[in-house]
Amino acid sequence: MTRIETEIVIVGSGPAGATLARELCRQGRKVVLLEKGRWHQWPVGRFASMGTITRTVRSRQGGLMARGITAGGSSVVFNGNAYDPPSWLGSELGIDLCPETAATKAELGIKPLPESFYQSWPATRRLVESAGELDIPLHPQAKFIDPEKCDPRCDDCMFGCRQGAKWTARSFLEEAREHGARVLLNAEVDRVILEAGQAKGVKLAGPGGLQEVRGEKVVLSAGGLGTPLILMRSGIEKAGEGFFIDPMNVVLAVGKEHGTRGEMTFAFASEEFVESDGFLVGTVGALMVLGAQLAQRRSFRAWRRVLDLRRIMGMFTKIGDTPGGRIDPDGTIDKPYPAEDREKFRKGTEACQRILLKAGADPDSILIAHDIGGHPGGTAAIGRVVDRELQALAAKNLYVCDASVFPRSPGRPPTLTLIALAKYLAKRI
């Protein structure tokens, strides 16, 4: 049997795993990080990223869920929006991430883009003005983007960024390597090795090659969809329950003027209704809004819109859904939405439609792609599967560090929170 030994084994190289590896190696700790994906190069920034880097799964109910299976995880294809951690992490769970969040913002220069960017997006500005007239204030969004390197007319963030303007977890992974981490790609973890109630390492999937990595501590950062599967295969009870995904409805409409082609997706958004009504609304570039329709509908009406590409505008609404889904050991996802969630969708989608119509959209052109999500979590929640130190209740020296630990949806994109959480754990493990 081929086996290696280390001090800390980390599974997954997304924002959480890569940050943790970097922080621990900087402290002089010995780390092996295992990542199922490869270091894809060529598809980054191209359509080819869909299907190579981005993998989708569907829930039993038809919801479409996307994530990156690659070095750097979903950060390679994320949209680069940054939101502070939810206040309840501190007030209810005693996990105060303020210092780690402030440090990350300063280090990565997270802030809205310069005013010149927003001026170069006329259709997006029309949407912002129309929303303002409807008392839906859309604000420029803080981004993990270096404006010096960014091409404001490409809107390729979700294909990966060829300019290197968008931060991805790959930069932290490289730093971790420079500080001594051993990063193994194409290395899929099957389960945690548990002996006498303690984690002793992980077993890899597949025949041949490396079969085990032994360590004093194991941290699972395989994401809200990956981590519960490893936990379930390891015999940890209650993993996979409490699933949320922050689903979106993406609304397309055709106007008379030039649309949002080449204008950055999620450049403006409104958090006005997150606390009161549970939804966020924001702007979408033309290619992305069309892509969402084709991915989710594949109908003739959606394909016909390709001809209108120049005049297409888009809005999305994202809801903070109730954590009522579950993932089964075979990977099947059950994600029904109770009446409460359906009401959030209704209100958010209506807000998008009103903004688009005010901005000059043809009412007959509206298409809605329902239930698309990319923020999986809740499946190894604090209080159910792990404690407040992120250690498994059922096994010592086994930790979870990703959105699986959130008992409910933060209701906003979680990457900044996950980086802060990994820094927080690195000080305690």
Ligand X SMILES: Cc1cc2nc3c(=O)[nH]c(=O)nc-3n(C[C@H](O)[C@H](O)[C@H](O)COP(=O)(O)OP(=O)(O)OC[C@H]3O[C@@H](n4cnc5c(N)ncnc54)[C@H](O)[C@@H]3O)c2cc1C
Q: Choose, by CB under 6 A, the member of 9, 10, 13, 138 that binds ligand X.
A: 13
Establish if 10 lies at the interface with ligand X (CB under 6 A): no
Q: Choose, by CB under 6 A, the member of 15, 85, 215, 325 that binds ligand X.
A: 15
Closest residue by Cα to residue 239 from 17, 93, 388, 395: 395
Contact 384, 242 (CB under 8 A): yes
Kindly indicate which of the ranges 74-82, 114-122, 337-345, 387-395 contains the residues binding ligand X, using the contact rule CB under 6 A. 74-82
Task: Supply φ then ψ for residue 115, to 5 degrees.
Answer: -55, -35
Q: Which is nearer to ligand X, 359 or 380 (CB)?
A: 380
Give the CA distances from residue 339 to residues 41, 317, 321, 336, 412, in Å, rounded to whole numbers and listed in that order: 43, 17, 11, 10, 21
Q: Which sign does the torsion angle of CA 124, 125, 131, 136 carry?
A: positive
The number of beta carbons lying within 10 Å of the beta carbon of residue 326 is 18
Kindly indicate which of the ranges 6-14, 131-139, 177-185, 251-259 contains the residues binding ligand X, using the contact rule CB under 6 A. 6-14
Q: Which residue has the tokens 């007030």?
A: 91
Q: Choose, by CB under 6 A, the member of 34, 312, 315, 359 that binds ligand X.
A: 34
∠ at Cα 386 (382, 390), nearest 5°? Answer: 90
Residues of span 210-229 touching ligand X by CB under 6 A: 221-223, 226
Kindly indicate which of the ranges 32-40, 193-201, 209-217, 308-316 contains the residues binding ligand X, using the contact rule CB under 6 A. 32-40
Return d(Cα 248, Cα 39) in angstroms, integer: 29
Residues of span 150-209 touching ligand X by CB under 6 A: 158, 188-189
Q: Choose, by CB under 6 A, the member of 368, 413, 420, 429 that binds ligand X.
A: 413
Establish if 291 lies at the interface with ligand X (CB under 6 A): no
Least CB distance to ligand X at residue 19 (A): 8
Q: Choose, by CB under 6 A, the member of 37, 63, 152, 314 that binds ligand X.
A: 37
Least CB distance to ligand X at residue 220 (A): 9
Give the CA distances from residue 380 to residues 75, 240, 247, in Å, rounded to whole numbers and listed in that order: 21, 7, 19
Q: Distance from CA of residue 38 to its chain's centroid?
A: 18
Establish if 16 lies at the interface with ligand X (CB under 6 A): yes
Q: Which sign does the torsion angle of CA 366, 369, 370, 374 carry?
A: negative
Residues of span 49-68 touching ligand X by CB under 6 A: 66-68
Return d(Cα 136, Cα 273) in angstroms, integer: 9
Q: Choose, by CB under 6 A, the member of 327, 418, 420, 425 that binds ligand X.
A: 418
Establish if 32 lies at the interface with ligand X (CB under 6 A): no
Contact 336, 322 (CB under 8 A): no
Token readout for 54 is 């981005």
Token readout for 416 is 């900044």
Q: Choose, by CB under 6 A, the member of 6, 59, 74, 270 that binds ligand X.
A: 74
Q: Which is nearer to ligand X, 36 or 335 (CB)?
A: 36
Site of interaction with ligand X (CB under 6 A):
11-17, 34-37, 66-70, 73-75, 77-81, 158, 188-189, 221-223, 226, 230, 374-375, 402-403, 413-415, 418
